[in-house]
Amino acid sequence: MDALISYLVNVISLGGTYALLALGLAVVFSVLGLINFAHGELMTLTGYVLLAGILTGQPFWLAVLVAVIAGGISAALMEFAAFRPVRNASGATLLMTSFAVSMLLQVLFQNGISPRGQAVPVPTWLTTSLSIGNSQISKVQIMSITVGVLSLLALKFFFDRSYWGWAIRAAADDFEIVGLMGVKASRLIMFAFLLSGLLAGVAGVLWVIQRGSVDPLMGFKPVLAAFIVAVIGGLGSLTGAVAGGFILSAIEIALQTWLPPNVMPYRDAVTYTLVVIILSIFPNGIFGKKSQEKV
């Protein structure tokens, strides 16, 4: 029972972060058909802004808020400076651009700040644990679950109720026709990047607080996981991104908890074998569109 509770807590807290990251990728994919591999660097950037806020003695909540907003603004700037000039180019060009932006930012972090990781001093009230039954749950995890779930609920509300939410969902279905609805394409793309940056910001803050440190290459692993999450869910599907996040998290945490120690080094191999099995059952992802459905 206690093992189950702690398993669920871990799955929800990691899954929520994956879901936020994968949603960020999916939102940009909806409007540009691009997997933005520089998404991870937005997380890293958020981490450094958070660190700067804490080191300069700002209240924790303010440092978090500024960090998340910095993620959103940086994403919008990234769109304007890097992706807008090549918007009508081929998918390969866009993908190369995203790798270039990613590496550029990594080098800037390495040379401008430090190649080594920096400890992020989290407020002491976050470092304690609560007991539920016989299991100990850290406050960081409680915060990460709360923030993850609330963000997902807020997004659901936004996607279901607002004009721009409909426009993003419509873009995921059929981007060309969104222009026919009178929605300005360049504004929608800028907005999608802003939203994806805010999501990377929230995920970045959660990630940094759980690890307690930030380093220049920090964003690579989570964005790779988020890419896999988006593929499991069905590229471009927003529902799929959330579902995929919790599925990958459930697999990873289960293996980490119950895999025998001598097999543990093969954990990632086992994880991705399961992913391949899922994809062989659902070749377009679980919520993916079938590719040939035109009448």
Partner 1 sequence: MSNSLLTTTDLSISYGAVKAVRGSNLEVKEGEVVALLGPNGAGKSSTLRAIVGLIKSQGSVNFAGHDITGLPTERIVSLGLSLVPEGRRLFPNLTVSENLMLGAPRKAKSDDLFDDLLDRLPILRERLQQVSGTLSGGEQQQVAIARALMSQPKLLLIDEPSLGLAPTIVDAVYQLLSDLRKTGLAMIIVEQEVMRVLKFADRAYAMSTGEIALEGSAADLRTSDEVKRVYLGGAD
Q: How far is CA 109 from CA 49, 74, 82, 98, 206, in A?
A: 12, 14, 18, 17, 20
Orientation of helix 2-32 relative to helix 139-161, angle to 10°: 40
Q: Which span sits near partner 1 by CB under 8 A: 1-9, 113-121, 149-157, 182-190?
A: 182-190
Q: Is 177 in the site for partner 1 (CB under 8 A)?
A: yes
- Work out which of 184, 257, 263, 269 binds partner 1, going by CB under 8 A: 184
Q: How far is the CB of 189 from partner 1 (least distance, A)?
A: 13
Q: Is 81 in the site for partner 1 (CB under 8 A)?
A: no
Q: Is 126 in the site for partner 1 (CB under 8 A)?
A: no
Whether residue 24 contacts residue 203, with contact meaning beta carbons closer than 8 Å, is answered with: yes
* Residue 45: strand, helix, or coil: helix
Q: What is the chain's alpha carbon radius of gyration, rounded to the nearest angstrom?
A: 19
- Work out which of 45, 183, 243, 286 binds partner 1, going by CB under 8 A: 183
Q: Is 278 in the site for partner 1 (CB under 8 A)?
A: no
**Which residues, 6 to 35, sit near partner 1 by CB under 8 A?**
none
Pairing mode, strands 213-214 and 118-119:
antiparallel
Burial of 114 (0-12, 13-18, 19+ CB in 10 A): exposed
- 137: which strand partners? 130
Q: Is 294 in the site for partner 1 (CB under 8 A)?
A: yes
Q: How far is the CB of 236 from partner 1 (least distance, A)?
A: 10
Q: Where are the beta strands (DSSP E) in 170-279?
A: 213-214
Please say which residue, 117 or 165, places its beta carbon nearer to partner 1. 165
Number of residues that bind partner 1 (CB under 8 A): 20
**Which residues, 144 to 173, sit near partner 1 by CB under 8 A?**
163, 166-167, 169-170, 172-173
Q: How far is the CB of 161 from partner 1 (least distance, A)?
A: 10
- Work out which of 92, 181, 276, 281 binds partner 1, going by CB under 8 A: 181
* Residue 263: strand, helix, or coil: coil
Q: What does the alpha-carbon distance between residue 15 and residue 21 come to, in Å, rounded to a whole number?
A: 10
Please say which residue, 171 or 208, places its beta carbon nearer to partner 1. 171
Q: Is 255 in the site for partner 1 (CB under 8 A)?
A: no
Q: How far is the CB of 168 from partner 1 (least distance, A)?
A: 11
- Work out which of 35, 54, 94, 178 binds partner 1, going by CB under 8 A: 178
| Residue 291: CB atoms within 10 Å | 8
Where on the phi/psi map is residue 173: left (φ > 0), alpha (ψ -120 to 50), or beta?
alpha
Q: Is 290 in the site for partner 1 (CB under 8 A)?
A: no
Q: Is 84 in the site for partner 1 (CB under 8 A)?
A: no
Q: How far is CA 100 from CA 75, 114, 125, 142, 226, in A?
A: 15, 20, 40, 36, 19
Whether residue 222 contacts residue 17, with contact meaning beta carbons closer than 8 Å, is answered with: yes
Chain positions contacting partner 1, by CB under 8 A: 163, 166-167, 169-170, 172-174, 176-185, 294-295
